[in-house]
């Protein structure tokens, strides 16, 4: 059956050089000839490639890229071409489970939902809804998140709702809010088609968004290639293509970025007109970065001064610039402070809001943008400001509830604090959806203990028996992508519809239906006694979401299911002004910082303290972007005698998250069957370790053992991919998850946990 290319071994496919218009190439892989195709988009990274699902006899038999789609022009990556196989996996959850006498046993939907509802009502009566928490995902659809957001905020009235997006994109959201007033990516993927330079900070695009990287590779193969500056401590696929690769020591992003800004200013490579007319805070920025001379940067970060000069020369002289950041920024020390410095580079150069210029604070997961937009995480729907009473009133009016029903006495509780409340016993029911914290959160031993607590009812809604589901009290079998209809938004604001192609297996139900069922059984009402949730189908919910988003930056009001089903995905804002969506936010350099419009009144970048409304209003930036900077601070844990090496975690190209899907796709699993401990040749020699030897890595929090892989990494640094947990554990039963070792702490502003540094020691395990 057709497989147009071997994406496992040739990840990015053949080159189609271009400048201006990216040529189409349709990638397809089917195992049987489909009897029909159903429009969708891929959910195996944040790129959001348009695809069609091939169906034969009610089963998914393959996918093909959509040539018409603006995101991928027909291409698909290895995860997209293979990951759908998980839908057909024989070990899908097909019936609800309830823990009885210590064992998870099959139950009916009515039994499972009744249990959740009676527990909810009991807790509310005794403790208020603040005893109930939700830990949701970056994998669901707009319709799921918005329903969840409304039932949580206006039905239950609990402040405790966040997504695993806290681990992947909280810093992207925070940095955009701080600089531009609200969330929302300023540019488009298409800016890569013409830009003169690309800055990738802690972003291994080649591995994480393979189709986007193909777009860059095609530019590099063109007669007029862009220059690439890559900041990454590892020599990744991305770094291998760099014009200049800066490899700083773990935890020193801010020092490097301050050094780059210092050079831009010192070399006069800044646009003073733009700064004067469209920004505030430049003088303080100059002062903060002023002491980061190339020599000082070199001494602290290990980046040679000459290389910093070379990078600053590219960034300072290019006429167009696309800057991107991902987990190497977001999950490292001073995450938000570093991410806003990336914004600041484009701002001081005035390179924003026009073709070839973009800032892409990348998302990690396919639908994490929607967790942020719809209010299913620590944000309010439509990028509203929790500290602005007028914004709360808008939501109250929209939902027809009293304003004070909606928790707004403090920022919505962030995930790490939700877990802490579970640990200390004040959250007594935790509902986990489509995510696997027993492998993905830091310090897994602690997480397992919390999930096992007797006084915490754990509900897990998932398609598979994950490591987390195994510890649940109630398991709800959920439909996957392809088995339900809904919409979602990628990193560059492109909204796709994914139509239902096949039925879910057994009794598995769409997340949307599960949430509606809960709302109905809980009898959530508006203030006139009518049902709070006024929709019964995904399309009706999308219409309600359009009304909620109207007039806000993420304006969906010009879209419809019909319009989204016509051809390509569509970028928001889509409204009267932009009926076909907008490629750039801020084309006139008017930003969303007006006091009555902004999503946040700002933060202290060092302490994370929220700025007070009156303080903000007194100096209303009124549409100017905010230049904010912080000085470098050392990490809280550094190598010492007992734990002499730096430790960092990350991803491999063939897997996604905890491999719940990709580990069940035959070719992906075969391509990367097990984890590894990546070491430099110097460290391997020092510890007498050969390639393939089992290495035990130990931190203050736990240990993990995997085979050694000796390759391009700075000496003194140890890397492990975080994908590998225990559901398909090798027979020796060893602990192998990278997050056994990571540290429980988080960025003070974005509250994103630190997965990118810890101190460890290693030893060779001799059989």
Partner 1 sequence: MHLGNYLGILENSEKQLCDAFEQVARHHKDEPDIEQMCHKLSAWSREHRGRVMGFVAKYSEDRSSEPKNLKRDLFDQPRKGSLALLRDLHDLWLLTQEVQLCWTVIKQAALALRDEELKATYEFCCARTKRQGDWLLGRIKQAAPQTLIVAA
Nearer to partner 1 by C-beta: 351 or 380? Answer: 380
425 near partner 1, judged by CB under 8 A: yes
Q: Which helix (H) or strand (E) holds 415?
A: helix 415-424
Closer residue to partner 1 in complex, CB, 235/448:
448
- State the minimum distance, in angstroms, from the CB of residue 450 to partner 1: 13
420 binds partner 1 (CB under 8 A): yes
Cα–Cα distance between 374 and 297 in angstroms, integer? 40
Cβ-based nearer residue to partner 1, 320 or 385: 385
409 scored as a contact of partner 1 (CB under 8 A): yes
Residue 744 binds to partner 1 (criterion: CB under 8 A): yes
Instruction: Assess contact for 323 and 199: CB atoms under 8 A.
Output: yes
Listed ranges 50-58, 264-272, 600-608, 691-699: which one lies at the site for partner 1 (CB under 8 A): 600-608
Nearer to partner 1, 159 or 226 (CB): 159
The torsion angles phi and psi of 113, rounded to 5 degrees, stand at -70, -40
Tell me how far apart the alpha carbons of residues 117 and 26 are, in angstroms, rounded to a whole number.
47
For residue 423, give both structure tokens: 């640990």
Q: Does 746 bind partner 1 (CB under 8 A)?
A: yes
Q: Residue 696: exposed, middle, or buried by beta-carbon count in 10 A (0-12, 13-18, 19+)?
A: middle
Contacting residue, 141, 386, 421, 757, with partner 1 by CB under 8 A: 421
Name which position in 144, 196, 379, 610 contacts partner 1 (CB under 8 A): 610
Does position 631 bind partner 1 by CB under 8 A? no
How far is it, in rounded angstroms, from Cα 581 to Cα 495? 10
CB of 690 to partner 1, least distance (A): 38
- CA–CA separation, 270 and 251 (whole Å): 27
CB of 487 to partner 1, least distance (A): 33
Please report whether residue 130 would count as binding partner 1 according to CB under 8 A: yes
Among 115, 748, 763, 765, binds partner 1 (CB under 8 A): 748
At closest approach, how far in Å is the CB of 752 from partner 1? 12
Among 91, 604, 682, 691, binds partner 1 (CB under 8 A): 604
Say whether residue 131 binds partner 1 (CB under 8 A).
Answer: yes
* 622: DSSP letter: T
| Separation between Cα atoms, residue 621 and residue 626, nearest integer Å | 7
State the residue for tokens 């601070």: 633
- Judged by DSSP in three states, 427 sits in coil
Query: Distance between CA 628 and CA 605 in Å, rounded?
Result: 8
Question: Is residue 607 a contact residue for partner 1 (CB under 8 A)?
Answer: yes
Considering only the stretches 231-239, 281-289, 421-429, 475-483, report the one whose residues sit in contact with partner 1 under the rule CB under 8 A: 421-429
Q: How many Å apart are CA 219 and CA 765, to the nearest integer?
A: 45
The verdict on 159 binding partner 1 (CB under 8 A) reads yes
Q: Residue 124 gets which letter from DSSP?
A: H
> 421 or 726: whose CB is closer to partner 1?
421
**Three-class SS of residue 243?**
coil
Least Å distance, CB 590 to partner 1, is: 29
Query: What is the spatial distance between Cα 15 and Cα 349, in angstroms, rounded to a whole number?
Result: 32
**Count of residues near partner 1 by CB under 8 A:** 30
Q: Say which DSSP state 140 is in.
A: S
DSSP assignment, residue 603? B
Nearer to partner 1, 606 or 642 (CB): 606
The reply to whether 636 sits near partner 1 by the rule CB under 8 A is yes
Q: Which of 606, 670, 681, 690 binds partner 1 (CB under 8 A)?
A: 606
Find the shortest distance in angstroms from Cβ 153 to partner 1. 15
Smallest gap from Cβ 426 to partner 1, in A, equals 4
413 binds partner 1 (CB under 8 A): yes
Q: What's 444-483 look like in SS3? A: HHHHHHHHCCCCCEEEEEECECCCCHHHCCEEEEECCCCC
- Of 17, 608, 613, 702, the residue at the interface with partner 1 (CB under 8 A) is 608
Among 100-108, 255-263, 483-491, 602-610, the segment contacting partner 1 (CB under 8 A): 602-610
Closest CA to 572 of 487, 656, 511: 487
One residue of 169, 171, 208, 417 binding partner 1 per CB under 8 A? 417
Using the contact rule CB under 8 A, the part of the chain among 50-58, 122-130, 198-206, 516-524 near partner 1 is 122-130
Shortest reach from residue 286's CB to partner 1, in Å:
18
Which of 133, 538 has the CB closer to partner 1?
Answer: 133
* 243 Cβ contact partners less than 8 Å away, ≥ 6 residues apart: 227, 228, 229, 314
Q: Which is nearer to partner 1, 120 or 413 (CB)?
A: 413
For partner 1, the binding residue among 114, 426, 536, 565 (CB under 8 A) is 426
C-beta of 564: minimal distance to partner 1 in Å? Answer: 39
Residue 739 as a binder of partner 1 (CB under 8 A): the answer is: no
Residue ranges of alpha helices (H) inside 89-159 are 109-127, 142-150
Tokens 């994998």 correspond to: 139
**E-assigned strands of 46-149?**
50-56, 59-65, 97-100, 103-106, 132-136
What's the distance, Cα to Cα, between the start and end of the chain in Å?
45
Strands 474-477 and 97-100: antiparallel
Q: 726-737 as b/e, with b when 16 or more CB fall inside 10 Å?
A: bbeeeeeeebbb
Whole-number Å distance between alpha carbons of 182 and 193: 26
Q: Tell me how far, at minimum, the Cβ of 740 lies from partner 1, in Å.
A: 17
Among the listed residues 127, 284, 287, 291, the single contact to partner 1 using CB under 8 A: 127
Residues that bind partner 1 (CB under 8 A): 127-128, 130-131, 159, 409-411, 413, 416-417, 420-421, 424-427, 604, 606-612, 636, 744-746, 748
């Amino acid at each position: 059956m057709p497989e147009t290319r071997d994406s496992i071994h040739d990840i990015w496919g053949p080159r189609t050089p271009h400048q201006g218009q990216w040529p189409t190439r349709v990638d397809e892989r089917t195992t049987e000839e489909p009897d029909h195709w159903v429009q969708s988009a891929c959910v195996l990274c944040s790129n959001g490639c348009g695809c069609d699902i091939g169906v034969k006899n009610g089963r998914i038999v393959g996918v093909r890229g959509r040539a018409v789609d603006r995101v991928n022009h027909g291409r698909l990556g290895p995860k997209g071409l293979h990951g759908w196989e998980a839908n057909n996996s024989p070990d899908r959850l097909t019936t609800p489970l309830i823990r009885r006498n210590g064992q998870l046993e099959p139950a009916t939907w009515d039994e499972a939902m009744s249990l959740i509802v009676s527990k909810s009502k009991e807790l509310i009566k005794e403790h208020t809804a603040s005893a109930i928490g939700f830990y949701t995902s970056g994998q669901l659809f707009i319709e799921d998140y918005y329903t969840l957001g409304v039932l949580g905020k206006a039905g239950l009235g609990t402040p405790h709702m966040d997504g695993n997006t806290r681990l992947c994109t909280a810093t992207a959201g925070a940095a955009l809010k701080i600089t531009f007033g609200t969330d929302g990516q300023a540019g488009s993927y298409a800016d890569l088609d013409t830009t003169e330079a690309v800055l990738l900070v802690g972003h291994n695009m080649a591995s994480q968004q393979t189709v986007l990287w193909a777009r860059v590779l095609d530019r590099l193969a063109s007669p007029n290639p862009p220059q690439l500056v890559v900041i990454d401590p590892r020599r990744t696929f991305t770094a291998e293509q760099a014009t200049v690769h800066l490899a700083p020591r773990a935890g020193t992003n801010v020092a490097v970025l301050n050094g780059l800004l210092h050079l831009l200013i010192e070399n006069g490579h800044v646009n003073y007109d733009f700064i004067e007319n469209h920004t505030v805070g430049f003088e303080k920025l100059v002062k903060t970065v002023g002491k980061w001379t190339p020599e000082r940067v070199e001494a602290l970060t290990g980046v040679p001064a000459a290389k910093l000069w070379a990078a600053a020369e590219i960034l300072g002289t290019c006429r167009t610039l696309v800057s991107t950041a991902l987990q190497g920024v977001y999950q490292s020390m001073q995450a938000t402070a570093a991410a806003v410095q990336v914004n600041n580079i484009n701002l001081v150069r005035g390179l924003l809001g026009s073709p070839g210029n973009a800032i892409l604070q990348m998302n990690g997961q396919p639908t994490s943008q929607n967790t942020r937009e719809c209010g299913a995480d620590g944000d309010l729907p439509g990028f509203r400001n929790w500290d602005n009473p007028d914004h709360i009133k808008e939501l109250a009016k929209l939902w027809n509830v009293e304003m004070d029903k909606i928790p707004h006495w403090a920022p919505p509780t962030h995930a790490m604090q939700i877990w802490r409340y579970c640990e200390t016993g004040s959250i007594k029911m935790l509902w986990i959806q489509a995510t696997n914290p027993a492998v993905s959160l830091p310090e897994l031993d602690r997480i397992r203990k919390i999930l096992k607590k007797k006084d915490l009812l754990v509900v897990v809604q998932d398609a598979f028996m994950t490591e987390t589901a195994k510890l649940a009290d109630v398991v709800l079998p959920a439909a996957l992508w392809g088995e339900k209809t809904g919409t979602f938004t990628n990193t560059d604001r492109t909204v796709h519809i994914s139509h239902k192609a096949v039925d879910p297996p057994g009794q598995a139900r769409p997340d949307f239906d599960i949430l509606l069922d809960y709302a109905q059984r809980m009898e959530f009402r508006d203030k006139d006694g009518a049902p709070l949730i006024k929709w019964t189908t995904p399309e009706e919910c999308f219409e309600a979401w359009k009304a909620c988003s109207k007039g806000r930056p993420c304006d969906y009001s010009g879209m419809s299911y019909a319009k989204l089903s016509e051809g390509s995905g569509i970028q928001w804002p889509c409204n009267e002004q932009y009926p076909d969506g907008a490629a750039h936010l801020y084309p006139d350099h008017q930003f969303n910082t007006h006091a009555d419009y902004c999503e946040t009144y700002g933060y202290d970048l060092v302490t994370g303290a929220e700025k007070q409304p009156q303080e903000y209003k007194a100096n209303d930036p009124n549409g100017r972007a905010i230049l904010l900077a912080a000085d470098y601070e050392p990490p809280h844990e550094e190598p010492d005698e007992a734990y002499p090496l730096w430790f960092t975690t990350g991803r491999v190209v063939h897997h996604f998250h905890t491999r719940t899907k990709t580990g069940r796709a035959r070719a992906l699993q075969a391509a990367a069957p097990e984890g590894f401990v990546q070491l430099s040749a110097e460290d391997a020699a020092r510890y007498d370790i050969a390639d393939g030897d089992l290495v035990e890595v130990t931190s203050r929090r736990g240990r993990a053992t995997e085979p050694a892989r000796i390759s391009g990494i700075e000496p003194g640094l140890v890397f492990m991919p975080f994908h590998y947990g225990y559901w398909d554990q090798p027979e020796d039963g060893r602990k192998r998850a990278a997050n056994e070792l990571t540290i429980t702490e988080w960025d003070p502003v974005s509250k994103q946990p630190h997965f990118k540094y810890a101190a460890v020691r290693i030893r060779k395990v001799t059989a």
